[in-house]
Structure 1
Amino acid sequence: MTTTSPWQNRQRSDRAPVPLRHGSQVSKREDEAMQRFRRYGLGQFIHFGLYSILGNEYQGVSARDGAPASEWIRAWRGPSAPDGWTAIYDRLNEQFDPTELDARQWARQAKQLGARYVIFTTKHHDGFALWPTAHSDYSIANSPAAGRDLVAEVVDAYTAEGIDVFLYFSVLDWHHPGYSDQVPTDDAGRAAWQEFLSYTRGQLLELLDRYPAARGLWFDGTWGKAWIASHEFTYELERELRERRPGLIIGSRFRNDEHGARHFDSNGALLGDYEQGWERKLPADHAMLAGNDWDCVMTIGPNGWGWTRDTGDDYLKTTDDLIELLMRCRSMDGNLVINFGPDGAGRMTAHEGQIATELGAWVAAHAAAIHDAGHVDLDPTGMGWLTGTDDRIFLTVLNRPVTGIARLRFPGDAERVPTAARILDSGRELELRRTDLGLDLDDASYVDVRIPADLVTERAFVIELELGAPDAPARRREAARM
């Protein structure tokens, strides 16, 4: 049987396995690093680089009609693009000087947000490195910010706040002369591509050696045909990275097998430690994940990841939107990673600051339902999302029932059912009762929680249900005679 997700064919087949030399290298991990990953709950993504100087426009002209997104502005094409645009962009390193970037302040804000990990762009598609790499002149070392190492600043500041750091790295590199999207067809092209692969390997090993506190690598730009054809190289490079840093976490976006299968190899095995394909999208349900770890990276705006000077009439996700997304992810054992895009000076936006304050307050008050709580195997409620631990169930109520009753359905033979209920943040006790709806052919046990009419909340609230043995067995009923 084959299940299809919105972004990738996920093969779960009973047919004979395909012989693979470059398939998955890992099975599901249960080590401390991955146990920690599963408890993150909430993360922060930071997109920062040369594109942050521009904010998706140049000299007052918007790139909206010619570039896919603000961080892709170097790819600006069409009638609105300035003459000689690529050369103009490639000289932005001469202006790069984020004088107001204080990584300690960023980390304090992330702590306020409730983030347990951060993903930071060390090098995006333009090839500009935010650390003084020894493998390229196109780095912060050749800018007005020379002498700084932004990767080190972020790693040190976030680690000091107890927030784990993952390093984003784009394989796609518009600046390196050897990079190619297409498979080279002549000797010169093949030699240039080999130089690029050596450069990429060198930078990745350099990142691991320079920043030992970083816990994982988050890859982007791995869809090019030349990279896909380099499956032997990428297989060996993954092995080398893991040997270099035991416990390193690598997502499924890094490489493919020899048949070009990405994220999952041709036998359906995950090509990494967790599913990295949930970019601005979510699984339909928990079952389709087949037990894999995963996270969802999400923009606050509708599209771009880098700073945008003029958001126009773009809808910016609210705190309430992000609470819903967070709890939906947690209900399927996933993490939500919210993107922040500072401007060229290194300042987060006012809206991002508002999100950090408001969402952070909600997360702090409801942490028990987030970090150590995961999927609950109960029917969806329509009221919100369920998370739980061995002895607790948490119902995040986003759609408050007009009846004033929160009803949950448990199997009739459940060994543990709710025995007490309360509002999580205040501890207010709630009336709880077991309800027999008298539905024929339904052996379920229903539990009703009465929501007080005088309970007033500005945002979603969480009902905590304590589990214990049922006080009496479910009543047997005579089946209706037809």
Structure 2
Amino acid sequence: MRKYDLRRIGLLLLLCVTMFGNANSQTTKQPVALKHGAHRVGKRTDADMAKWRSYGLGQFIHWGLYSILEGKYNGKYYNGAAEWIRSWKEVPHAEYDSLYKQFNPENFNPTQWAKMAKQMGVKYVTFTTKHHDGFCLWPSQYTQYTVANSPYKKDIVKQVVDAYTKEGIDVYLYFSVMDWSHPDWRTDLKTKEDSVAFDRFKLFTKNQLTELLKMYPQTKGLWFDGTWDTSWKKSGAFSDSLEQHLKSLIPGLIIGSRLRADEFGNRHNDANGVLMGDYEQGWERKIPKTYADVHGNDWDCVMTIPENGWGYAEKWLGHWKTSYECIEMTTQCVSLGGNFVLNFGPKADGTFRPEEITVAKEMGDWMKVNNAAIYDCEYANCEKQDWGYFTKKQNDDKIYMVVFNVPINGSLKVKLPKNTSIGKASLLQAPSTVLSTEQLDYNASYIQLPKGMKPTSPFVIVIDTKQQSQVETEQKAKT
């Protein structure tokens, strides 16, 4: 019997134990035997995934031919996300597909990009190697539709990978499977001819991904997009083998839940409800409300500064987020055991818009002082309070309170996990300032801010915890 078969049997046994753990349950469904479902139950425990888990804050960059149109065509503004403008009926495909002849970002400076990200406090970046239009920002040998045939000519992916790696920022490569430029791409497989064409497309996809990992071995992971069409959902066996192939090229490679489909066409989670991938990628422009919502999975949230739109648009329509909104979202994600990834959409010339530069600078100023509450932190298992969020240092008992809303009386209610109490509370920015605490019932306490303290930005309180004695625990009121 093959090792792979043993692993599959072990996984099914584990699923059986999980699903039939309650002997009295009459409604639990039997697990489905899958060849191409999840190959692991629970989180990865290796060092590469532990590092991913510790990031806290990441950056996304969407850049491509769509940046040239700036979210408009012939004076009309596209009401959708700028990177999707080729799909707008107003834009002739032939005209869009010729934009590569204009792509010449003369002000592109990857070193400046990476330094801006470093100052912002970013620990990892996800960069678009190609989006749905199929235009490649590296000189792929498998298509002519690349930066090598633009006026710019130089390999942009290599410059980004090298610059960010030099700054100590891990690089993840975005890759759209869906490719509007490729003649063999199909949204569905309705005929034999469709299947034959799509088999060629799958080989093309595998070749390009293999090429990327061999050209840029510093890559820590891959971020997939455009995998929702029926054609890909019918290709579960291929996406399974593709994931295994890519991970054989770079040990420890991290791939989220967007790549795979099982043999029944389920994405993200297989037919047994088990995550396929190293972390959950279902949190796009939204954040879980509770820790229970992430179902014990690793996860991240990818977020835009405007309401929607990842590539550059001349006008941001509607509300766009301030730095403090982004800081709060970062903290909220970390408090629920995830990472927060903020998107930037450079202009066609390779520069960032002023609003993005401001958000990055202000977030970085805050992170420089308060990053202890973000990096290497996790869910603290504390009851949420209205003043802000709790985070907990991994492998430590230290808890952080990131305060966004100060009560009028200056007293912050804290409810710690069972049998845990406050040993000491102090301000992160002033460790010698020990805050007074008042023990309440049911593991709750009040922390009193110093009189006259009038914060102008979110701040952090550090709690050194201690375990309560059995006597203290038993003295709780009974009802």
Q: Secondary structure at the match of 1:429?
A: coil
Matches of 1:445 and 1:267, distance apart in 2:
38
State the Cα distance separating 1:44 from its structure 2 match: 0.2
Matches of 1:268 and 1:475, distance apart in 2:
38
Alignment partner, residue 356 of structure 1: 360
Alignment partner, residue 330 of structure 1: 334
Q: Secondary structure at the match of 2:296?
A: coil
Alignment partner, residue 86 of structure 2: 74
Alignment partner, residue 47 of structure 1: 62
**1:33-432 matched pairs, under 5 angstroms:** 33-64=48-79, 68-77=80-89, 81-82=90-91, 85-146=92-153, 148-187=154-193, 189-312=194-317, 314-389=318-393, 390-410=396-416, 414=419, 416-427=420-431, 429-432=433-436
Alignment partner, residue 444 of structure 2: 446
State the Cα distance separating 1:358 from its structure 2 match: 0.5
Q: Secondary structure at the match of 2:377?
A: coil
Q: 1:308 to 1:407 in 2, by over 3 A?
A: same
State the Cα distance separating 1:376 from its structure 2 match: 0.9
Instruction: Note if contact 2:381-2:416 (Cα within 8 Å) is conserved in structure 1.
Output: no
Matched to 2:362, the amino acid is: E
Q: Secondary structure at the match of 1:199?
A: helix
Instruction: Note if contact 2:440-2:446 (Cα within 8 Å) is conserved in structure 1.
Output: no
Alignment partner, residue 3 of structure 1: none
Aligned structure 1 segments of 4 or more residues deviating by more than 3 angstroms: 469-473, 475-481
Instruction: Note if contact 1:330-1:375 (Cα within 8 Å) is conserved in structure 2.
Output: yes
Matches of 1:475 and 1:346, distance apart in 2:
60
Instruction: Note if contact 1:184-1:193 (Cα within 8 Å) is conserved in structure 2.
Output: no
Matches of 1:407 and 1:52, distance apart in 2:
47
Q: 1:475 to 1:192 in 2, by over 3 A?
A: closer
Q: 1:17 to 1:91 in 2, by over 3 A?
A: same
State the Cα distance separating 1:184 from its structure 2 match: 3.6
Matches of 2:269 and 2:386, distance apart in 1:
32
State the Cα distance separating 1:281 from its structure 2 match: 1.1
Matches of 2:433 and 2:439, distance apart in 1:
19
State the Cα distance separating 1:479 from its structure 2 match: 5.8
**Do residues 25 (structure 1) and 43 (structure 2) align?**
no
Q: 1:119 to 1:175 in 2, by over 3 A?
A: same
List per-residue Cα deviations over 1:14-41 (Å, max 9, x = no partner).
4211010111134421111101001100
Matches of 1:448 and 1:61, distance apart in 2:
56
Instruction: Note if contact 1:430-1:450 (Cα within 8 Å) is conserved in structure 2.
Output: no
Matches of 2:348 and 2:325, distance apart in 1:
27
Q: 1:233 to 1:431 in 2, by over 3 A?
A: closer
Matches of 2:474 and 2:134, distance apart in 1:
69
Instruction: Note if contact 2:82-2:313 (Cα within 8 Å) is conserved in structure 1.
Output: yes
List per-residue Cα deviations over 1:196-229 (Å, max 9, x = no partner).
1111110000011000001000000000111111
Q: 1:426 to 1:477 in 2, by over 3 A?
A: closer
Matched to 1:164, the amino acid is: D
Matched to 2:369, the amino acid is: A
Q: Secondary structure at the match of 1:137?
A: coil
Matches of 2:189 and 2:47, distance apart in 1:
40
List per-residue Cα deviations over 1:382-419 (Å, max 9, x = no partner).
111100122211111111111211121235x61x4211
Matched to 1:340, the amino acid is: F
State the Cα distance separating 1:454 from its structure 2 match: 1.6
Matches of 2:410 and 2:34, distance apart in 1:
56
Q: 1:175 to 1:480 in 2, by over 3 A?
A: closer
Matched to 1:386, the amino acid is: F
List per-residue Cα deviations over 1:122-180 (Å, max 9, x = no partner).
0000000000001000000111011x111100000000000000000000100001001
Instruction: Note if contact 1:419-1:470 (Cα within 8 Å) is conserved in structure 2.
Output: no
Alignment partner, residue 9 of structure 1: none
Matches of 2:430 and 2:105, distance apart in 1:
43
Q: Secondary structure at the match of 1:219?
A: strand
State the Cα distance separating 1:60 from its structure 2 match: 2.4
Matched to 2:101, the amino acid is: E
Instruction: Note if contact 1:119-1:165 (Cα within 8 Å) is conserved in structure 2.
Output: yes
List per-residue Cα deviations over 1:403-444 (Å, max 9, x = no partner).
211121235x61x4211111112335243334235xxxxxx1
Instruction: Note if contact 2:262-2:270 (Cα within 8 Å) is conserved in structure 1.
Output: yes
Q: Structure 1: 5+ residue runs without aligned partners?
A: 1-11, 438-443
Matches of 2:334 and 2:473, distance apart in 1:
34
Matched to 1:250, the amino acid is: I
Alignment partner, residue 13 of structure 2: none
State the Cα distance separating 1:477 from its structure 2 match: 5.7
List per-residue Cα deviations over 1:328-353 (Å, max 9, x = no partner).
10011100000000000000111111
Q: 1:271 to 1:469 in 2, by over 3 A?
A: closer
Q: Structure 2: 5+ residue runs without aligned partners?
A: 1-17, 20-27
- What is the number of equivalent residue pairs in this alignment? 451
Matches of 2:436 and 2:403, distance apart in 1:
16
Matches of 1:205 and 1:479, distance apart in 2:
63
